[in-house]
Amino acid sequence: MLFWPLALIALIAIVIAQLSATFPDALRAEGSSEKLIYLALLLVFILAYGFRRREVRLGPMALMGVGWLAAFAALLVAYTYREEARMVFDRVRGEVSPTIAIARDDGEVELRKAWDGHFRAMALVNGARVGMLVDTGASVVLLSYEDAAAAGLDPEHLAFTQPVTTANGRSHVAPVILESVAIGAVGLSSVRAAVAEEGKLKSSLLGMSFLGRLQETSFRGDSLILRN
């Protein structure tokens, strides 16, 4: 008797998916999704109870057909709501690994605060993956010596002529222009940056030469929202 409820769920899922595709704004009204779920579950319960009272029997072929119908409905719903599922998956990954940028449906990305209270991001610098610490107090993007090499720069031939003061004391950095810096879908080209001397910087810094050029850089609780 389990197959009849599955068949009903499959049919309802197909109808909902089709209506959602035909009327994409219908489920966006406040409370509409909750009402639809409640009514669908109520309908499944009523019909399943009715079939049970009548002791409906299904043959092997009918059971197989119902199984295929349920599988088809599940695939259809998964495809229809693939973007929503991706967003949920990204959010879960962002909670587990705060360096992963969470994509949002309005073109923004969200970074979650790490356990130590800082915001970190896995950036693409000149196409290379570089872990960075968000630092609004840094005037430019500052790369460690090792990360600069990973991003395709040649630190051995850079001119470390610009004096700076960091938490580790005074040192010199080499000014550079990065071809591209991206955090998830938020990216910029021709970004002013600097490279630290070897052994002077443990973690690269995502500074204001990137953050300041974005349309939005806002802190919302434990989240940092970036929008280009």
Q: What is the pLDDT of residue 81?
A: 55
| Per-chain mean pLDDT for the chain | 75
Measure the CA–CA gap between 202 and 204, rounded to whole angstroms: 7
Residue 98 has pLDDT above 50, yes or no: no
Residue 68 has pLDDT above 90, yes or no: no
Single out the residue of 221, 217, 197, 225 nearest to residue 136, CA to CA: 217
Average of per-residue pLDDT across 145-159? 95
Measure the CA–CA gap between 77 and 127, rounded to whole angstroms: 35
Q: How confident is the model at residue 209 (pLDDT cuts 50, 70, 90)?
A: very high
Residue 21 has pLDDT above 80, yes or no: no
Q: Select, from the ranges 64-73, 88-97, 110-119, the one with the highest average predicted confidence (pLDDT).
A: 110-119
- The amino acid that residue 157 corresponds to is H
